[in-house]
């Protein structure tokens, strides 16, 4: 019988000769097992080859990692050496007269200009104040009287005294101008009080002032 001759050619342990069912490879279940193994010669060879290849791949992974680490270490050492050379050159340069002059100029330039952060903060604060004033002012009036020019501002709510004080203080700050308060000549109680407390050296209204001058 054909089956029995194959079994004899690849004798298998645990299966006495003459078994009606020859032991087939556990993997392919096509070819007879190799000796005491559970797989056939082909499957064993294929598995060994795959194993060898994965081992080789792992080895080359390790090797490439190692070489990358080595390259990194080499680059770090080169950087360090370059920095040291640069430091030495810097010290040599700093010791020369022109080096001293250069470094002094650099230092003066660094401490000279205003701190950028402070400058930006102040600019932003000014912008914010300008916005507050701009939101309240609806009309800029330009008046000429006896050849003299006067500018006046009309506010969105011209009965809001507190807001008017805020806006006038902002403009005084932004324009770096003197603030002159002219109390209401028709309201002798509150405005006159405020005027005396806030601006003791105030001048009188525009009409009286222009009369005086």
Q: Decide if residue 27 touches Zn ion (CB under 5 A).
A: yes
The interface mask with Zn ion, positions 6-25, x = CB under 5 A, is: -------------------x
CA–CA separation, 111 vs 102, rounded Å?
15
Burial of residue 43, with CB atoms counted within 10 A of its CB: 0-12 exposed, 13-18 middle, 19 or more buried: buried
Q: Which is nearer to Zn ion, 41 or 153 (CB)?
A: 41
Cβ atoms 54, 48 nearer than 8 A: no
Two structure tokens written together for 191: 């405005």
Q: Decide if residue 43 touches Zn ion (CB under 5 A).
A: yes
Q: Which is nearer to Zn ion, 40 or 133 (CB)?
A: 40
CA–CA separation, 144 vs 122, rounded Å?
35
Q: Which of 6, 13, 19, 28 binds Zn ion (CB under 5 A)?
A: 28
CB of 7 to Zn ion, least distance (A): 15
Q: Is 152 helix (H, G, I), strand (E, B) or coil?
A: strand
Q: Which of 12, 33, 40, 170 binds Zn ion (CB under 5 A)?
A: 40
Q: Which is nearer to Zn ion, 51 or 70 (CB)?
A: 51
């Amino acid at each position: 019988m054909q089956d029995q001759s194959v079994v004899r050619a690849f004798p298998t342990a645990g299966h006495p000769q003459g078994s009606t069912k020859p032991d087939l490879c556990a993997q392919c279940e096509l070819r007879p097992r190799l000796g005491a193994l559970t797989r056939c010669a082909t499957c064993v060879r294929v598995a060994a080859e795959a194993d060898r290849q994965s081992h080789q791949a792992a080895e080359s992974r390790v090797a490439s990692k190692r070489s990358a680490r080595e390259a990194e270490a080499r680059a770090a050492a080169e950087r360090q050496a370059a920095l040291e050379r640069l430091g030495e050159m810097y010290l040599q340069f700093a010791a020369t007269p022109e080096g001293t002059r250069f470094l002094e100029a650099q230092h003066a330039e660094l401490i000279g200009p205003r701190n950028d952060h402070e400058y930006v903060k102040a600019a932003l604060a000014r912008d914010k104040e300008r916005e507050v004033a701009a939101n309240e002012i609806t009309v800029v009036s330009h008046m000429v009287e006896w050849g003299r020019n006067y500018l006046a501002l009309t506010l969105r709510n011209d009965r809001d005294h507190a807001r008017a004080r805020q806006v006038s203080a902002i403009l005084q700050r932004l324009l770096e101008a003197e603030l002159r308060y002219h109390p209401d000549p028709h309201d002798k109680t509150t405005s006159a009080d405020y005027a005396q407390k806030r601006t003791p050296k105030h001048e009188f209204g525009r009409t009286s002032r222009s009369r005086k001058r």
